[in-house]
Amino acid sequence: MFSECVKKAGSIEVICGSMFSGKTEELIRRLKRAQFANQKVEIYKPAIDVRYADDQVVSHDFHSIPSTPIDTPASMLLLSSDVDVVGIDEAQFFDGTIVEVAQTLANRGIRVIIAGLDTDFSGKPFGPMPALMAVAEDVQKVHAICVKCGSPANNSHRLSTDPSLVVLGEKDVYEPLCRHCYNAAVSQDSRTVPAAHTAQP
């Protein structure tokens, strides 16, 4: 009876942090371990993320795993039949319905592993990430290294002056900074953050 309950138990895991902190790399590592164990794995990412490849989740150091690009979280419910593990990358770009979708998948007995930015370039909680962290059984916050001082970094400082919330980019657009260096950089930028950047409930 106990083993049957364990086998059917689903869960939600969240891997969060700044740009260049290794979120996607850790997601890929967990998913490949599941594949090595002969578990059926499905991986999804937002269709807008085309930085590396349309049908691959790719880390900054170019580790990759095949994935399915989707426009809405609800698509995962239709595409995730008879699977053991679901991986979701760049979850911050989805709308709030991803929280209910993740809960539904976990309640079906599926292990759901989610990676995403916990804060946006202005330092505010990013999209559905706070809610996903709240309902998760396990949350791991990973850190980059501050490019200014070498301390652990948990902020993604945007190098451009584009005020849009979503701006896809790599090292040419963002740099990881610690709290002190981030505050100094923002002060130097003298940037006004639009009210629209407040976190979604």
In-domain check, residue 37: yes
Binding positions for ATP are 17-24, 89-92
Tens of pLDDT, residues 54-99: 555 554 554 567 788 999 999 999 888 899 999 999 999 999 999 9
Binding positions are 17-24, 89-92, 146, 149, 166-169, 174, 178, 181
In-domain check, residue 36: yes
In-domain check, residue 101: yes
What are the backbone dihedrals phi and psi of residue 152, each rounded to the nearest 5 degrees, phi first? -60, 135
Domain extent for 130: 7-143
pLDDT at 53: 53
**What average pLDDT does the segment 96-122 reach?**
97
In-domain check, residue 122: yes
In-domain check, residue 83: yes
Structural domains in the chain (count): 1
Is pLDDT at 51 greater than 60 in this prediction?
no
pLDDT at 160: 76
Distance, in Å, from the CA atom of 160 to the CA atom of 172, rounded to the nearest integer, reads: 9
Task: Identify residue 75 by its one-letter amino acid code.
Answer: S
In-domain check, residue 1: no
**What average pLDDT does the segment 178-187 reach?**
94
For the entire predicted model, the pTM comes to: 0.81
pLDDT at 195: 44
In-domain check, residue 152: no
CATH of the domain at 62: 3.40.50.300
Binding positions for Zn(2+) are 146, 149, 178, 181
Of the chain, the percentage scoring pLDDT greater than 90 comes to: 64
In-domain check, residue 42: yes
Whether 26 sits among the annotated catalytic residues: the reply is no
Identify the active-site residue in 13, 26, 90, 175: 90
Cβ neighbors of 187 (< 8 A, separation 6 or more) are none
Distance, in Å, from the CA atom of 57 to the CA atom of 137, rounded to the nearest integer, reads: 23
